[in-house]
A and B are shown apart, each in its own frame.
Chain A
Amino acid sequence: MRRVVQCVLGVLVLLFAVAAPAQLTVDAQGQVEGRRRVPTSGSGGSIGRKLPVRITLENQEVTKSKEGVLFVDFILTNVGSSTLSLPISPNARKLEPPDSIKSYTWNCLRLYVTTDAAQDSVLVPETSLYGDQAYPETVAAIAPGEFLKVHSKIKLPSTLTAASMGSVLVAHASLITETTVTINGQTVSNAEELGSAASAQYALKGMALQPLPMK
């Protein structure tokens, strides 16, 4: 029964997305199926290309546990002049081929939050959305002016919760294309960043996110 409800909800979400693409929402807060083939080596790189998106954060609630959990929405608005194709599946496993040695390529949208001025300290977990044009339901076309909303969940370290008044939070999005190859039992990932973007700064005050004024 639960599975049926989930399927119905999934269809509704999909229909909703088709009917109102300007408000496409992805829920990445629940249980996600991580990748089956975990790379143990590989490569990456970037030239610092900027994604034409504006990122804003909206938080739903922060649990008052010892290690707080921040339920947050990443809102990515296309501020460019052309349609953006973004991956939207939080489940990596469904995009991996059943053949355990077959190579595959997907796009991955990584969303994460940093908590320091240098934007080095990344809160975990990151939210990763996967997409492959071979699975059309895993890719969304975001037209100029439209946005993608991603429900995410982030753990707040106790130190951050205690000193939350002084923390500067910045949301980041990084879109990469990644090819995974398995040879002789070794899985190698070769990733290339297609672009990235960062939000304005936020402060965590009173267990809520507040945008900081632009400098």
Chain B
Amino acid sequence: MKTLRKVLIFAIFTPAAFSQMIPQYSSYSMATKDPSTGQITTAVTIQGNTTFNPSCTYCYSAWHSAYVTNQISRTDTGVIISGGRQMVANVQPPSLQINRTTYVTVTESDCVDLPDGSPGCNFRGEGQVICSVVGIIATIGGGGTLLPQLRCSSQVTRGASASCQVAGAFSGNLSNWKFTAEQTTVNRTSNQNAFNWSGRMVKSGSVSVTASGGWGVLSAPISVTNRTNFAFPVVSPVQLTGTNSITCYSGRAVTLDSPPGNGSQEGYSCADQAFSFNFSTISDGGPNHGYEYVTSASSQDGARQTKFEFIVVSDLLSQTSFYNSQCGDFSSSNLAGFIAGSQLKQNVFDHEQGAILSHWTEYRDAQNVPTNNIGSVLEAATASPGSIGSSFAQNAGNAALNRISQAVDGEPCLGSVNRNSSQSCANCGTINFSPYQGCIGQPVPHCQ
């Protein structure tokens, strides 16, 4: 008895533990429900001593979901709960007297949620006058209701297990356990009458079960949250040197004209994205049985890693004829002047991999959007039962990859390296292509 009392006292201040107490009570009285009206009638019997402890702060009563504050009063005939803070509208808590049985009838529409967010009328299935536990009534032998209530792990991380159970000492039959998410339903195929259903979860949805005796369908939601550390990091740009050629993972091969001519490209970059993943099909008979999901993801595929490489035409990397022919006489007073070689070189670098507006920032910004980040997308990818193989994740990864690629396809400063993308695409003069026009004076970089 002392042990039981300790458990009960602890539970009073720990609503989360409240439900865990249920199995500790064995003497319940059944509640009845009229399916046509929804009225629930239950008998509440309180037994025990009459020691009163006014510190009872959170007291769950048996007949409604209210918690009553320390407004429990005492009479000579025993404990009377009166004037408690009611969370049940329109229902006056009856006086409960020790060693007496009191009947109370409420309807489900009378119930409101508790302040902690737990469902109103969670007396269903509890069957105890726990309010009276703190020193007031040590033994809650009888009374209370046995209304069935489905309780599930409200939130689990994708890939972790969740469990659902029908709370209370419901002794009827259970059937039609199922999980529902969007257009998909997973029906339990065995142990339909079991009070528990558990398994690995990868998809948010709702679990439901039909309880006999007019209680109908009980349901509870399960929310699946994303795993962390799946997002792919941004890779830094890397210049390929000693070459004017580059081949992207997409298969596109580009060789820059050397020296550049009118219409040539002076640089090129490849946002080479790679991904791989492992997947698994859930086969535990639980609510997500048959679902596929990604168990791990990587930003490399075999030996090929995600990378951002770029090239700059070699004629801009040293003092070549092309470079030296960029006269650098463009100025506010000479808008027809040529760009400086150093400025053109800078513009090409800025265009491909600069930190302000470049193909690299396009890649960076696109892949940092969670709905584009291939790792994040793979993390959340699931396939409904019946799907076969890796296509669910392959499709999701490809779609994310393509969205990033499309973002990178945008041309900073409309693709013109006459303009400096780090200076809001300021014009820096025209390029002096071969046959070169002669220069007068030293080049002076200028953009406006």
Contacts and interface: CB of A to CB of B under 8 A. Distances in A.
A51 to B, nearest CB: 8
Interface string B361-400: 0000000000100000000000000001111011111110
Interface string B349-364: 0000000000000000
Interface in A91-132: 110, 112, 114, 118-120, 122, 126
A39 B252 contact: no
Contact of A50 (B252, B279, B393): B252
Contacts of A176: 394
Contact of B281 (A41, A43, A48, A114): A41
Interface residues of B, number: 37
A174 B394 contact: yes
Nearest to B306: A47
Nearest to A92: B388
A27 interface: no
B390 A44 contact: yes
B278 A47 contact: no
Given A47-B272, A119-B399, A35 B394 contact: no
A189 B280 CA distance: 10
**Most chain-A CB neighbours within 10 Å: which of B273, B278, B281, B395?**
B395
B250 A112 contact: no
Q: How large is the interface on A (under 10, 10 to 19, 20 to 34, 35 or more residues)?
A: 35 or more
Given A49-B251, A118-B371, A42 B274 contact: no
Given A49-B249, A50-B252, A118-B399, A43 B390 contact: yes
A118 B369 CA distance: 13
Nearest to A120: B399
A190 B403 CA distance: 25
A119 B389 contact: no
Interface stretch (A54-62, A191-199, A200-208): A191-199
B191 interface: no
A44 B395 CA distance: 10
Contacts of B67: none
Given A42-B390, A118-B371, A196-B398, A50 B250 contact: yes
Looking at chain A's contact residues, the main secondary structure is strand
**Most chain-B CB neighbours within 10 Å: which of A43, A118, A122, A176?**
A43
A45 interface: yes
**Most chain-B CB neighbours within 10 Å: which of A45, A50, A193?**
A45
Contact of A122 (B278, B280, B298, B395): B395
B398 A48 contact: yes
B405 interface: yes
B100 interface: no
A48 B408 CA distance: 14
Contacts of A34: 388
A48 B273 contact: yes
A46 interface: yes
A201 B251 CA distance: 23
A38 interface: yes
A47 B304 contact: yes
B275 interface: yes
A176 B390 CA distance: 10
A193 B388 contact: no
A45 B389 contact: no
A178 interface: yes
Nearest to A45: B276
Contacts of B391: 110, 112, 126, 174
A43 B278 contact: yes
Contacts of B275: 45-46
Interface string B284-324: 00000000000100100110100000000000000000000
B230 to A, nearest CB: 15
Contacts of A192: 301-302
B109 interface: no
A40 interface: yes
Nearest to B395: A122
Interface in B160-190: 183
B281 A40 contact: yes
12 contacts: A40-B280, A40-B283, A42-B390, A44-B390, A47-B249, A47-B273, A48-B398, A48-B402, A110-B391, A122-B395, A193-B394, A193-B398
